């Protein structure tokens, strides 16, 4: 348990770095933006892998029995989460987490939500939280889900303070909640190159996961549970 809590604390602390301008700017100044992003991505992936390794090493303590409908929720939510994650990371977005945050012109995904990466994490965590009724999963995915929600709130507050009078103009064509700006008539639906790439990547990863990738990595077959 101590190893799991330590790995989770490290992962959450690591993802707090972008929220601290002084630390982020110092690292970018020393390493350069491209090297910083590459190293940060690699360390983040390694930290997440450690979290999962530590979680899987914990004893399985069931809270509720798995059911087919729970697995279907995860199967439906995870492809959407993957799309948001990939599209968010590779699209220009001055308002949230992105590899291209420094660019002022926002990508098409921002019209759906200005926090696609955080929504991706939240949907992914929510799907797995429902589908896995054991203590370690509740702790892991519950923490990641709460982190995503808190991340949206803190990013909104920080950007509102940073942008000042330009905040309303920059956020006019976007919303925190997915599709809210479109439903409100403030943003049209459009598809750009990063979104197209994200759709393809999300579809390929989903097919691989359902074809045995998830079972190979985590010892659980979502389709087998969903069709049982």
Cβ–Cβ < 8 Å for 70, 228: no
Place of tokens 């390794």: 53
Confidence (pLDDT) at 18: 64
H or E stretch covering 210: none
Of 47, 56, 49, 50, the C-alpha closest to 11 is 47
Reported as a pLDDT band with limits 50, 70 and 90, residue 49 is: confident
Q: How many residues does the chain have?
A: 228
Token pair recorded at residue 90: 């590779």
- Better pLDDT: 55 or 79: 79
Model pLDDT, residue 63: 86
Specify the pLDDT at position 20.
Answer: 67
By the 10 Å C-beta count (0-12 exposed, 13-18 middle, 19+ buried), 183 is classed as exposed
Separation between Cα atoms, residue 171 and residue 114, nearest integer Å: 8
88 vs 218 pLDDT, higher one: 88
Average pLDDT over the chain, rounded to whole?
A: 88
pLDDT level of residue 126 (50, 70, 90 thresholds): very high
19 has pLDDT over 80: no
Calculated CA dihedral for residues 6, 10, 13, 15, nearest 10 degrees: -140
Find the mean pLDDT for residues 55-75: 87
DSSP letter at 87 equals H
Distances (CA, A) of 122 to 18, 163, 177, 211: 18, 26, 12, 24
Spatial separation of the C-alpha atoms in residues 30 and 19, rounded to whole Å? 18
Statement: residue 81 has pLDDT above 70: yes
For residue range 94-115, list pLDDT tens digits in order.
Answer: 898 888 776 778 899 999 999 9
Helix ranges (DSSP H) in the chain: 2-14, 21-31, 33-56, 68-90, 109-112, 116-131, 135-163, 167-170, 180-183, 193-208, 214-218, 222-226
How far, in Å, CA of 125 to CA of 51, rounded? 14
Quote the pLDDT of residue 21. Answer: 67
Average pLDDT over residues 142-150: 91
Predicted pLDDT at 27: 77
* pLDDT for the residue numbered 17: 67
Among the ranges given (55-64, 152-161, 176-185), the one the predictor scored with the smallest mean pLDDT: 55-64
Query: 168-172, 189-193, 197-201: which has the highest mean pLDDT?
Result: 197-201
Read off the pLDDT band of 72 (50, 70, 90).
very high
Q: What percentage of the chain reaches a pLDDT higher than 90?
A: 43
């Amino acid at each position: 348990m101590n190893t799991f809590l330590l790995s989770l604390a490290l992962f959450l602390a690591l993802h707090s770095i972008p929220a601290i301008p002084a630390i982020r700017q110092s690292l970018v100044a020393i390493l350069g933006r491209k090297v910083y992003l590459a190293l940060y991505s690699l360390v983040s992936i390694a930290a997440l892998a450690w979290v999962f390794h530590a979680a899987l090493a914990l004893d399985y303590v069931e809270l509720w029995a798995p059911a087919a409908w729970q697995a279907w929720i995860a199967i439906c939510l995870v492809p959407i989460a993957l799309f948001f994650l990939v599209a968010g990371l590779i699209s220009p977005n001055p308002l949230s987490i992105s590899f291209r945050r420094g660019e002022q012109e926002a990508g098409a995904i921002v019209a759906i939500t200005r926090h696609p990466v955080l929504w991706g994490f939240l949907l992914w965590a929510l799907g797995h939280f429902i589908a896995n009724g054991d203590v370690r999963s509740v702790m892991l995915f519950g923490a990641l889900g709460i982190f995503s929600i808190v991340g949206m709130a803190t990013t909104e507050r920080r950007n509102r303070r940073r942008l000042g009078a330009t905040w309303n103009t920059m956020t006019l064509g976007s919303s925190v909640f997915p599709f809210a700006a479109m439903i409100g008539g403030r943003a049209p639906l459009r598809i750009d190159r990063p979104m197209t790439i994200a759709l393809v990547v999300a579809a390929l990863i989903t097919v691989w996961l359902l074809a045995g990738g998830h079972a190979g990595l985590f010892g659980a077959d979502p389709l087998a549970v969903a069709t049982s």
